[in-house]
Chains A and B, each alone.
Chain A
């Protein structure tokens, strides 16, 4: 085994054994048991047999082309928005030891590529079992290989894009000229896609329902020139959608060739590597320094700013923590992570409103409500300016003269309140839009009641979700990723999906009492008068808030017992 292989293997083994050793603690043991049960129920629970001819909604040529389009759009994001700088980041130890060692740049990139394969493999395994739910005829090992090839290609592409962008940024026109071939190829793909969509604009415009639109889009993407642009990426996606072992065998070889070409491209795109890697690593080091010995964190450095938020010197000290976290949000938030929910909301809003024959105002309202719901479901994973970040500063946080209960309250509010504010704004915008739409659902009174009650509901729901997510950081700091960086990329989607579902299960459990009380209230009131609807929502929100506040008390006690060593 060479030095890099030894480093990757021993690092992974020691981390795995360290994680396993935590199970000796009762809290971690219970969590591990619940986790195993959860994974079993979600992924491995026996399912009905897949009939030979049956295929799920995951499969089929139009879907395949849409997924290919999604892959290309995701990669375009890496080129346009800079992608994920973690693709280049090395730890401080790696910079100190490897960069000064007698190693070529190519060897360092090879190490970087190899190291990323562990995460890629884990996510491929997760996705295999998620897709299994959709039904498939090919054996799981073949699907693992297909997904591994797909995710590796995406990972390599993001790294290549980051290197090209870095060369461009660092060396201007000279850097761009060195990588002109890469830039021209990917720009050509974009142009072919745009021409294809332009040519098919009439077919797309003629589709009046969401289903018809996506079918038309699949057809447009299957025709030249869009198909030429998508072709190399379609080759990589195809094995995942194979319906038989023979089809998989035919598809996997071209896919592996594309992956190897990507690896070759990355290995030959190393001109600005050290500068880019050191810059990315330095940004990471700023945070890692406060969290020495812990696993790697993200690389988004805080943006320097001339403006600040005023803070009165007097008043409750917990407000200072909220203030600090608002500045953190302002200076470290990654707006690009909200692009996907936004696009999803526009698409779903348009699809639903076209099916329901709503007008422009109705379409806007549905889009706004979908975005509010998406932020409720995923927002907590995107905003991490709470204990998921501050557990890295545990020695400082614990030495502050503030009660642990108030610390937890301020930290939870730091991510819950901004999300609740945006969601309330979206709900009120939807309400205003629907007022102008004669086809709007519900009576005006009920709509007003829902609009009035919504701030209470969103604050309570976001508070509960944020408390659950903060609880994982406080109770299991050694098992969760700490820091502000949001895991992005298709490779991280599987783990994110599992975590989101687990969080929602916990939320559903906390909603049992409020829903029970609401049901009694509805039964007692006999009818859905507007005032009754508002009261039911507000009372339910109040009960949920009370439950959450009690949970914060428990978390505060856990925080007071938490020690810096436990986060290592």
Chain B
């Protein structure tokens, strides 16, 4: 569902992402982890078509993002860490807008359910400026999920959510993966990554420092055997290579 080969992104002489490759199949959840400034958000923005890669190829749901961006984006939902909303559209108008863009013809039938699921029913006629940070995040999530994307990219999806909202979000991600979506989850919450992700991509200074299932990563770094995900993460992303 998601295939990335040799992805690179340069800003002038600065290399933000250097030749990263990975695959995420249907039903898989890839955890994208790394320290601040490692290139996670740049990678996700390249996958969402927001910024153009300097090199490499991205294929989403069988469509090349470079050659057939419209079809690739139609299969995609990108939920950023900071909700991007139009301040002059109400909650339900956001959903109608997204429905028209993605061709969701039964939006009026689906809207009550998704509003209820995300506890936005009473806020349906509210503008984003009248919503709390968590509500705004929920609206961004609702917009992302409305068209049943087969590729789901989430950047710190739990930011701003209350404990109940966090639990429901975890369940939603798991349910989407179970229904066949390919999911990329970027988060600093390692317990969330451990709970949901079937494999990991650890990035450091724009490069892949580790990729695969936990077993595959440990097989590649035998010195990490028996350690927690946090220890594995710190070891792979530390400035001093493991074992030194």
Contact = CB atoms under 8 A, between A and B. Distances in A.
Interface stretch (B98-106, B170-178, B201-209, B220-228): B98-106
Interface of A: 283, 286-287, 289-290, 292, 301-302, 304, 306, 308, 311-315, 317, 319-320, 323-324, 327-328, 331-332, 393-396, 398-403, 560-561, 563-565
B100 A563 contact: no
Interface stretch (B82-90, B158-166, B179-187, B210-218): B82-90
A304 B78 contact: no
A406 B115 CA distance: 30
A301 B49 CA distance: 30
A313 B106 contact: yes
B16 to A, nearest CB: 10
B87 A311 contact: no
A302 B93 contact: no
Contacts, number: 100
A319 B90 CA distance: 18
B100 A311 contact: yes
B74 interface: yes
A567 to B, nearest CB: 12
Given A313-B107, A395-B84, A398-B49, 5 more contacts: A286-B87, A311-B100, A313-B99, A327-B93, A398-B48
A399 B73 contact: yes
B88 A399 contact: no
Contacts of B102: 317, 401
Nearest to A310: B96
A324 B100 CA distance: 11
B142 to A, nearest CB: 14
Contacts of A560: 52
Contacts of A314: 100, 103, 105
Contacts of B74: 401
A315 to B, nearest CB: 7
B87 A290 contact: yes
Of B69, B85, B86, B89, the most chain A CB neighbours within 10 A belong to B86
Nearest to B72: A401
Given A302-B129, A327-B89, A393-B84, A399 B97 contact: no
A283 B52 CA distance: 33
A279 B128 CA distance: 16
B27 interface: no
Contacts of A395: 45, 48, 50, 80, 84
A399 B73 CA distance: 7
B229 interface: no
Contact of A323 (B11, B80, B97, B104): B97
A324 B89 contact: yes
Contacts of B50: 394-395, 398-399, 563-564
Contacts of A301: 87, 129
Nearest to A312: B100
Nearest to B11: A565
A561 B50 CA distance: 9
A324 B86 contact: yes
B189 interface: no
Interface in B48-84: 48-52, 69-71, 73-74, 76, 78, 80, 82, 84
B230 interface: no
A327 B88 contact: yes
B118 interface: no
A507 to B, nearest CB: 29
B125 interface: yes
